[in-house]
Structure 1
């Protein structure tokens, strides 16, 4: 098998694995991870259909042909909106204005409609011709999408990738999340290379359609594109904290507590060596979390905080276990509860609902807030508020 095919197959496999991992471990950032999963799926679909078309195997799957074009226009906007929200929590929630980014796909839906209205035998005739004549796939015939899409799609992706670089540069001036910043630059750079390569390849084919087979199988550009796609798929594992929101190890701690019941027994604490407290790290954490109010970020995790501060995750884990003697969630929720109490004590309950104040404090839901408040204050938020009103 040609190295190009093997490389693309490897990239598709890894991209599919990332989508699965997002589904399993990325539920803390549902909207952002939905954007990322949509972009990755669309990228993998493009690579898959490209393989089928260039190898001639598309003739066996007429129902798959001309289905993915609208998805290709989603790649640029989804990656951009995801990265922007991941680097700045202010943009991490859905807004109606985000839908404007996807209007670009409407012409693509229109272009693929004629083919998809054909019956199965007519679709089979079209894909049979595509399989035997790659020139036909770029011809702009009635049941083949217009050639201008092969320019518009990569150009739109290229524009969004450049916007990613610009936004990353703006965030980098804050000198926070430096690990995430470096990853964002790398990731955006790979996307720029891919979209530029696509544009160059499509231009070359349209200018010399008779050489389409050679360009899609043996040209250095197609091999470079496939290798860059493989690197892009691997890049998702360079900064898993940013992508999945938390590590598997931390997720297990959040579910079962910092230590198990067995580990809380005396013979465990006797064997445990207390490491010296890093006062500089304590000051750094408290400045960022308390003074800069990072605790108000919905879905903040220890891995996410480590990424923001450019500190190894294991150092923060040691700090919370040894110095604060608390797991990360308990520490953050305590700060959030104190923030809510301050606002309630100052009379903010007269203008805002409890839920609004809780959401501003960083709680992801009403139920999470009520449970945390009752645990910390030993009374429900409603009872606390009633006491305030009776004073």
Structure 2
């Protein structure tokens, strides 16, 4: 059999091989460094590769997926949504582990696989006969497609909602949120949503009798190939913070039940917090989190968060970074620091990224660090 590498098959094959390699790399790093998110990411990439396998082989002149493997369960419609959702959960919580009730998310995919395998193992003739006389006449195949689209939209909603909860929670726990914001995942969710919509468009076109050619459907497969590249490059290079533990169910409970603090207690705790910041300069720790500060003050996260929110009218992120901005403003005026760059002084003041420093300084002072420095020099 002669393989045909052409303008249709080659980009799909390249993305497929690239995806397989990065899936293995994710699993190796995941088990070696105990990064559960990498293991989930590996399965997300592998599933995306399976989504282009049939047409990749078809454009190469291999039609085994449409003939001998006609009923083989390679469709990822029921599994890609849960995989993406649990990947995000494991990325946002290093302590995340799959619980028994979480297995229900894979129930639809399990039923799909069992059903297709039971038909597939009966042989090629039985499979064709089943497709022609049962699966299509009784709209079982159509039902699978509709339910998989609903599943994808459902888990897209779950993932977006989880990410929104996380973005809201992040400034209350960390002073540097830029490196923990996972903005690439937000863009990926947008692309994933686009892929679902495109799939839905193709579905409607087929429902209304438009016979799409192999070349027409290639564009949908090429979009998935681009998603594979994006996952491999951005997903694999994404950091996994060691102390990131986001539990949305716990967060909701804490928002409903906040500790009541009397005025004397509040003033006392405000003084303790200010002492830690002004005298001990705890904000100079670039990785300072709410948990770190709570441990230093020998209290818990909930109480400390309430003190900062109620007593100072700020979230943890704004509260800590205002001290860092003040520290920078003082250090930039010192003669011994004239040879140090503004970014170097910012790092000495507790910031650990240029993006965070510029954004926070502009938000706090209304001007850029460079403009502030020039004004002081004048």
TM value normalised by structure 1: 0.53
Equivalent residue number for residue 144 of structure 2: 149
Report the alpha carbon displacement of residue 76 of structure 1 after superposing the two structures with TM: 0.8
Correspondence 1:41 to 2:49? no
User: Would the alpha carbon gap of residues 113 and 13 (structure 1) be closer, same or farther in structure 2, given more than 3 Å must change?
Assistant: closer
Does structure 1 residue 236 correspond to structure 2 residue 235?
yes
The answer to whether the aligner puts 1:76 opposite 2:81 as a matched pair is: yes
Contact 1:73–1:104 (8 Å) recurs in 2: yes
CA contact (8 A) 2:30 2:39 kept: no
Whether 1:196 and 2:221 are equivalent positions in the alignment is no
Pairing of 1:1-391 with structure 2 (within 5 A)? 3-27=7-31, 28-29=33-34, 31-53=36-58, 57-59=62-64, 64-69=69-74, 71-89=76-94, 92-113=96-117, 115-119=119-123, 122=125, 126=128, 140-141=135-136, 146-173=141-168, 174-175=170-171, 176=174, 177-181=177-181, 182-217=183-218, 223-241=222-240, 282-287=284-289, 290-291=292-293
Structure 1 unpaired stretches of 5+: 130-135, 246-278, 294-308, 310-314, 320-391
Contact 1:69 1:108 in 2 (8 A): no
CA offsets, 1:290-324, max 9 Å, x none?
A: 3356xxxxxxxxxxxxxxx9xxxxx9xx99xxxxx
Specify the alignment match of 2:364 in structure 1: none
1:61 and 1:145 map into 2 onto residues whose CA distance is: 18
Gapped regions of structure 2 (runs ≥ 5): 245-280, 296-319, 321-343, 349-378
The change in CA–CA distance for 1:231 and 1:85 in structure 2 (over 3 A counts) is closer
Contact 1:75 1:157 in 2 (8 A): yes
Q: CA deviation at 1:84?
A: 1.4
Q: Deviations over 1:5-24 (max 9, x none)?
A: 33322322222122111122
Structure 2: distance between partners of 1:60 and 1:188: 29
* Distance change (3 Å), C-alpha of 1:280 and 1:242: closer
- Residue 264 of structure 1 corresponds to which residue in structure 2? none
In structure 1, distance between residues paired with 2:14 and 2:294: 43
State the alpha-carbon separation in 1 of the partners of residues 223 and 47 from structure 2.
20
For 1:209 and 1:55, how far apart are their aligned partners in 2?
25
2:98 match: secondary structure: coil
